[in-house]
Amino acid sequence: MKTHVEAAMGHGNYHRAVCLDQLEEGQPAGLVLQGWPVMLVVIDGRVHATLDRCPHAASRLSTGRIRRGAVMCPLHGARFELEGGRCVGGSYKPLKIFDARISEGWVEVDLPIGVPGFEHMPVDM
Ligand code: FES
C-alpha cells in the first residue's frame, strides 16, 4: 500500500479490484473498493473506472448500459463519457473518474485517500 507521501508525489493510491479476465468487454461491473463504490468496464481492451454513483440522483451506473464510450444511467437516461466523465444528453455534474491500470493480470484502481463521503454512497433501489 502506498503512503500518503507517495500518493502526493503522483505515485497514486492503487488498490487491486478484480482479475482482468473476470471483466467482459463492454459489460459494466460494480464493486466496493476501500469503501468506494466503483464501476469497471473494459472498452476496446482498456479498463475504465468511475464512481458507481450517478451525479444526479445516486443510481448505480454499473446497472446501466455502455454505448459509444459512455455509460447511460438506468434511472433517468443521462449519459456520462467514460473519458473525463462529462455529462452528455443531460445537464448534470461530471461523473467522477478514477485512474485504472493492469498489473500482473489484476485491475488496480487509483482511489482518493480516505473514506468516501456520504455523497459518494450508492443508494439502494
Ligand atoms: S439518477 Fe442518473 S440521470 Fe437521474
DSSP label of 121: S
Task: Give the pLDDT confidence score for residue 121 in this predicted structure.
Answer: 64
Name which residue leads in pLDDT, 91 or 2. 91
pLDDT band at 6 (very low <50, low <70, confident <90, very high): very low
Is ligand 1 within 6 A of the CB of residue 54? yes
State whether CATH 3.90.100.10 applies to domain 4-113: no
Is ligand 1 within 6 A of the CB of residue 61? no
> For ligand 1, atom 1, which residue shows the shortest CA distance?
57
Q: Which amino acid is at 78?
A: A
Task: Give the pLDDT confidence score for residue 90 in this predicted structure.
Answer: 84
Kindly list the domain boundaries of the chain, sorted by start residue. Answer: 4-113
Task: Give the pLDDT confidence score for residue 10 in this predicted structure.
Answer: 46
The pTM (predicted TM-score) of the whole model is: 0.87
CA 6, 11, 15: angle at the middle one, nearest 5?
95
Taking the CA of residue 77 as reference, the ligand 1 atom at the shortest distance is: 3
